[in-house]
A and B are shown apart, each in its own frame.
Chain A
Amino acid sequence: MTDKGDLPNPARDGAESAAAGAPEAAAPLTGPTTAAPQTPLDSAPVDSIEFERGAGPILTQEGKSQGQIVWEQFRRHKAALVGGWILVFMYLSAIFAGFLAPYGINEYRRSPSAAFRPPTQVHWTDPDTGRLTRPFVYDVVEARDPITRQRVYEEVTDVRYPIKFLVHRPSQPYKILGLFKSDLHLFGVDDPARVFLWGTNNLGKDLFSRVLYGGQVSLTIGILAVWVAFFLGLLLGGIAGYYGGLVDDIIMRLVEVFAAIPGLFLLIVLASLLRDPANPLAKAFGLQMTSAQTFLLTVVVLGFVGWGGLARVIRSLILSARELDYAAAAKALGAGESRILWRHLLPSTASYVIVDLTLSIPGFILAETGLSFLGLGPSELDTASWGLLLRDATARGISIQFVPWLLIPGIPILFAVLCWNLLGDGLRDAFDPKKRR
């Protein structure tokens, strides 16, 4: 690997330079990929790179596209890669939640109840011979500790229930991506035994299955809300930045108004008032507040509260980009205003926007779990969300030291947010020409 890839490319750092109002970004990458004069940049401090860039177009010999360069840079960012892979794993497990989860999202047994079961012990060795064997579980009966009156669970060691793989459970069908119907589950045990890898909640619902299903809500809501915020921010920020004047004033005042109200309270008020099916808006649209509708409502509310910052950033990027030569050139060539806005100015903000979007997803995930934790997120009827699952742990009359497994849903939240942050930081570094390695 030579230092070719390290050369600053004038065309690829549009957003950052544009944000700083630097004129270099205007120098277009034109001409054939001839060998440009190469300067020993390794020894040069950062400042002189800026200078070299201004001196004229420095072309890489291979003429890599920005995408290739960014991808190359990104691949070297180990933490971001790990974060990315963990996210892929998490999203896959959310997609295939129905298959991976042994039980349904709301499946529970009335009698005998399996409430507050600790994680089921899976036995790997034969208790008689001590040898490795096919993993199995015992059925468990509930009893009360005679002194503390706490629930205790005892294994009935008479019958072993081996863990079976790829079992059909016609009573618990599911759909993958809403398309493929199936009742095949990765693993399960025969009745009356149960395998609760992460224990159960107060009704005896399997936490492992619910965490998997919860990922479907908690992982997608962040992304969807970002798109809502992005759409609003792009539209309003773009318009404000491009047209300026009175339009700009009005939109920016609106952003200020939104920024002035504390976000958490605004979120709580909107979420709690809108989710009531009797509220005027729901009536006007004929909403019944099914779980799908509360899900969408949460997305819209999150995006609605979060668009301001994005709009402000896009506006400032466009304000500076508008003054650049290529916008003037497009205008001189007779391009209409909307064409300049959509085809020339907004794409130049792309790299910044990608990074900003990635880095705002974790915030939305956290906000969603917070709302769900208060019971103001997607409704509990036939969805789960990690925040909602954590709510079980603070329900009235629960002492967490006896049911510590109820805190497990917090761990995937932590991982999801952590990995999105790592991914976003990696992308930011990859797009930043100053941080090229």
Chain B
Amino acid sequence: MFVYILRRLFQLIPTFIGATMLMFLISQLVPGDFFKAKELEPNVRPETIQRMRAEFGLDKPVYVQYVNWMKNLVTGNLGQSFVSNQPVWQRIARPMRNSMYLAILSIILLWLVSIPAGVYSAVRQYSFGDQAVSVVSYLGLATPNFFLAQVIILALFLTRTLTKDWFGFNQLIFPVAGMTSSNYLSLSPWAQFWDVMWHMFIPSLVVATSGMAGFTRVLRAQMIEYLGSDFIRTARAKGVGHTKVTYKHALRPAIIPFVAGIGNLLPSLVGGAGLVEVVMSWPGITPTFLTALQSQDIYVVLGLLVITTLLLMAGNLISDLLLAAVDPRIRYN
């Protein structure tokens, strides 16, 4: 096992180097650089721009820039942001944390909804409930996340109109934008926590729906396969009750791919919320990425790409290891 992990880690190195080279190459597609715009400003002297370029090493050839950047990367230095003039790591740490919150809640929601739904539709195959789950899954797969977020925002506003007319309650049930209320700083820590949770619910629900569809369908197929297998028949013949057969004998093997899939959730922890963050003004990684791209803050862009890539690769590795850990049928040598 240890040897296997080591070998996998070694295999990751060329992939990672290739990925960074590709990223760096793409970053060279930027027309001009961040300081190009400065050249047009009359109160900035050309020498200053030259000096700043030299400071960031932008005056050197591309491959030298790449090597320098890689050298820093290995020591954990992601470079300096042009725009905010602070280390890239500082610039992206907070958005990454925010995205992570969102992802954790959405994963919890995903599991809470999908496992019962998948088990139900497998046990009651072709029942009305099963078909309802299947229809909802198809719809969930077909709806773009950002559109769903927009629709939910509209629904929240309409609910407010209704509650105002009926109960005189002129408030949104859930906030439609941002991560904290305006009085956040004056709240107690506990209230602060609930405030963030309250803001988080809708975006993480939207993120969860896209996963729910696939998750439920795969779990259903897995469950059906296991429920029809011999060891289940044996268990039933021994007189094991229905609930125990379903949840202990069938669900356990059926859930294995999802347990292993936890590793795959790692990258989605930082990058998964995507456009939902944009629609709901969540101060996460995607909006940061877009802003950095727009302002040609290329080291921030590269930093985010590198971190998410690392997480993606680590996630894949963890999935494989988890799979081996939970599934006794898989052996690595």
Instruction: Give chain A's interface residues, CB within 8 Å of chain B.
Output: 253-254, 256-258, 260-262, 264-266, 268-270, 272-274, 276, 278-281, 362, 366, 369-370, 373-374, 387, 390, 393-394, 399-401, 404, 407, 410, 413-415, 417-418, 421-422
The 3 residue pairs across chains A and B that have the minimum distance between CB atoms: A278-B31, A401-B157, A410-B147
Of the residues A260, A366, A404, A422, contact of B309 by C-beta under 8 Å: A260
Interface residue B275 (Cβ < 8 Å from any Cβ of A): yes
- With both beta carbons as reference points, the residue of chain B lying nearest to A371 in the complex is identified as B275
Q: Of the 9-residue stretches B85-93, B148-156, B184-192, which lies at the interface with chain A? A: B148-156
B26 near A404: Cβ-Cβ < 8 Å: no
- With both beta carbons as reference points, the residue of chain A lying nearest to B301 in the complex is identified as A269
- A261-B309, A410-B151, A414-B139 are contacts. A374–B26 as well, Cβ < 8 Å? no
Q: How large is the interface on B (under 10, 10 to 19, 20 to 34, 35 or more residues)?
A: 35 or more
- A262-B308, A390-B146 are contacts. A400–B26 as well, Cβ < 8 Å? no
Interface centre among B147, B150, B158, B275 (most CB of A within 10 A): B147
Which residues does chain B contribute within 8 Å of A266, judged by CB atoms? Answer: 305
**Interface of B (DSSP majority class):** helix
A394 near B150: Cβ-Cβ < 8 Å: yes
Of the residues A281, A399, A418, contact of B139 by C-beta under 8 Å: A418
Instruction: Give chain B's interface residues, CB within 8 Å of chain A.
Output: 14-16, 18-19, 22-23, 26-32, 138-139, 141-144, 146-147, 150-151, 153-154, 157-158, 161, 267, 271, 274-275, 278-279, 286, 289-290, 293-294, 301, 304-305, 308-309, 312-313
- With both beta carbons as reference points, the residue of chain B lying nearest to A269 in the complex is identified as B26
- With both beta carbons as reference points, the residue of chain B lying nearest to A367 in the complex is identified as B144
**Interface of A (DSSP majority class):** helix
A418 near B15: Cβ-Cβ < 8 Å: no
Bound state CA distance, A362 and B138, in angstroms? 12
Show 13 A/B contacts (Cβ-Cβ < 8 Å), sorted by A.
Answer: A253-B15, A257-B19, A262-B305, A265-B308, A268-B289, A273-B27, A274-B29, A279-B30, A387-B144, A407-B154, A413-B144, A414-B143, A418-B142
B22 near A257: Cβ-Cβ < 8 Å: yes
B275 near A261: Cβ-Cβ < 8 Å: no
B147 near A279: Cβ-Cβ < 8 Å: no
B144 near A366: Cβ-Cβ < 8 Å: yes
Which residues does chain A contribute within 8 Å of B146, judged by CB atoms? Answer: 370, 373, 390
B289 near A265: Cβ-Cβ < 8 Å: yes
Q: How far is the CB of A313 from chain B (nearest CB, A)?
A: 17
Which residues does chain B contribute within 8 Å of A401, judged by CB atoms? Answer: 154, 157-158, 161
- With both beta carbons as reference points, the residue of chain A lying nearest to B146 in the complex is identified as A373
- A260-B312, A407-B150 are contacts. A265–B144 as well, Cβ < 8 Å? no
Bound state CA distance, A73 and B28, in angstroms? 51
B150 near A390: Cβ-Cβ < 8 Å: yes
Q: A262-B305, A387-B144 are in contact. List 16 more A-B contacts (CB 8 A).
A: A257-B18, A261-B308, A261-B312, A264-B274, A268-B289, A269-B26, A269-B305, A273-B29, A278-B32, A280-B28, A369-B147, A370-B274, A394-B150, A400-B157, A413-B142, A417-B142
Q: How far is the CB of A262 from chain B (nearest CB, A)?
A: 5
- With both beta carbons as reference points, the residue of chain B lying nearest to A263 in the complex is identified as B271
Bound state CA distance, A421 and B134, in angstroms? 13
Q: How far is the CB of A380 from chain B (nearest CB, A)?
A: 17
Which residues does chain A contribute within 8 Å of B19, judged by CB atoms? Answer: 257, 260-261
Of the residues B153, B157, B293, contact of A268 by C-beta under 8 Å: B293
B271 near A265: Cβ-Cβ < 8 Å: yes
- A270-B26, A281-B29, A401-B158 are contacts. A369–B144 as well, Cβ < 8 Å? yes
Interface centre among B15, B23, B28 (most CB of A within 10 A): B15
Bound state CA distance, A268 and B286, in angstroms? 10
A260 near B147: Cβ-Cβ < 8 Å: no
Q: How far is the CB of A311 from chain B (nearest CB, A)?
A: 15
- A256-B15, A273-B26, A418-B142 are contacts. A268–B290 as well, Cβ < 8 Å? yes
A253 near B14: Cβ-Cβ < 8 Å: yes
Which residues does chain B contribute within 8 Å of A272, judged by CB atoms? Answer: 293-294
A269 near B293: Cβ-Cβ < 8 Å: yes
